[in-house]
Amino acid sequence: MATAQLRPDAADGLERAARAVLPSSVADFIGGGAGEELTLAWEQQAFTDYALRPRVLSGVDRPDLSVSMLGCAVSLPMAVAPMAYQRLVHPAGELEAVEAAGRAGALTVVPMLSSVGLEEVADAAAGPLWFQLYCLRDREVVADLARRAERAGYRALVLTADAPRLGSRRRDLRNGFTLPPGVTPVNLPHRIGGVPGAPGTGASAIAQHAAATHDATFSWSDLAWLRAQTELPLVVKGVLCAEDAVRAADTGADGIIVSSHGGRQLDRAVPSLHALPEVAEAVGDRCEVYLDGGVRRGTDILVAAALGARAVFAGRPVLWALAAGGADAVAELFAQVRGELQEAMVLAGRSSLAGLDGLLSPRRRERTC
């Protein structure tokens, strides 16, 4: 697909273009959420709870969008969220998104469940990479992945803490979702990787694999254990309240990603944007605070930054772009968001993301949830 066609409306246009080329069960896997998909809907609605208070005559011509993410200098405060099995949507899988993000000056979090090996992805990357881990029963596999990521040049580890088991994703259950041949968790040793799932067993392949490998007993002491396994900065993903944010900081986390996993885990969980201020306030300067969930345009980044996020991560839009037009479309998505953020900062009279005090006004008394 010609990238010029993507310009009018990046978020919605990309999803439409992707759905036109993807099998419907794959589009459902990507687009879906858990339960009644309330949190999924709230994630995007939450951004409309805030209006911007622009300042005029502030002389801002070229706002500074650069930021440091745990020591990684990036020129855009939007990174790629970890998303499993990217070869579901593009033959080059994770290599393609990493290339585009690097070109855009953005960071990528490579998922533990990547469908291209973590070393091969690192070799191909132009921009900084973090590596995501799940809380697995087999601690030796977790420690080994951490060591491999460190050796391959990843700059931080992200422990996803909100998936002791997989949320009930009704669309995947309805579709009996399985991974097609050739899309496998190649980073995992065969004893726990295998070929996830088989049709007709009543659960999605992804849910079965998570049931067999994830450890719901993983707790704060295990986070302390992981902290001791690596020299890399450690980020906890999936925090939605101040208490857990403080606990993560106390246990040695360097960063927190405020996230509801894009509404894919606990349905009716608070949308991440609403949890962000209490987390940012609770940890102060002890941890870098990030957000994902529902970020679709430049103004969303501005709202999240004003509420305490150092940078944000985008999930589904990147996969839709990957499906619709590969690395070029992902690069186009990043270019569009960069343009929107620049425009919003000029029009709001803000020269940098560090100086957003007084930018937000609650749009209504009643929140969307």
Ligand X SMILES: CCCCC(=O)C(=O)O
List CB contacts of 135: < 8 A, sequence separation 6 or more: 142, 159, 160, 161, 163, 164, 214, 215, 218, 222
Q: Where are the alpha helices (DSSP H) in the chain?
A: 10-21, 24-31, 38-45, 94-103, 118-124, 139-152, 170-175, 205-213, 220-229, 242-250, 272-283, 298-306, 316-348
Instruction: State which residue, 102 or 293, has the beta carbon closest to ligand FMN.
Output: 293
Instruction: State which residue, 142 or 359, has the beta carbon closest to ligand X.
Output: 142
Helix (H) or strand (E) holding 131: strand 129-134
Tell me what percent of the chain is helix, strand and coil, each rounded to the nearest 5: 45, 15, 45
Answer yes or no: 261 catalytic. yes
Q: Which entry of 90, 209, 214, 261 is annotated as an active-site residue?
A: 261
Query: Angle at CA 338, nearest 5°, toward 337 and 344?
Result: 85
Number of residues binding to ligand X, judged by CB under 6 A: 7
| Residue 314 contacts which entry, ligand X, ligand FMN, none (Cβ below 5-8 A, type-dependent) | ligand FMN
54 is in an annotated binding site: no
| Residue 141 contacts which entry, ligand FMN, ligand X, none (Cβ below 5-8 A, type-dependent) | none
293 is in an annotated binding site: yes
Side chain identity at residue 81, one-letter code: A
The reply on whether position 82 binds ligand FMN by CB under 6 A is yes
Q: How far apart are the first and last CA of the chain?
A: 38
Kindly indicate which of the ranges 8-16, 60-68, 79-87, 118-126 contains the residues binding ligand FMN, using the contact rule CB under 6 A.
Answer: 79-87
The reply on whether position 206 binds ligand X by CB under 6 A is yes
Shortest gap between Cβ of 134 and ligand X (angstroms)?
6
Side chain identity at residue 220, one-letter code: W
The reply on whether position 84 binds ligand X by CB under 6 A is yes
297 is in an annotated binding site: no
- Binding region for FMN: 82-84, 160, 237, 259, 292-296, 315-316
Residues involved in catalysis: 261
Residue ranges in contact with ligand FMN by CB under 6 A? 29-30, 43, 81-84, 111, 113, 132, 160, 237, 259, 261-262, 264, 292-295, 314-316, 319
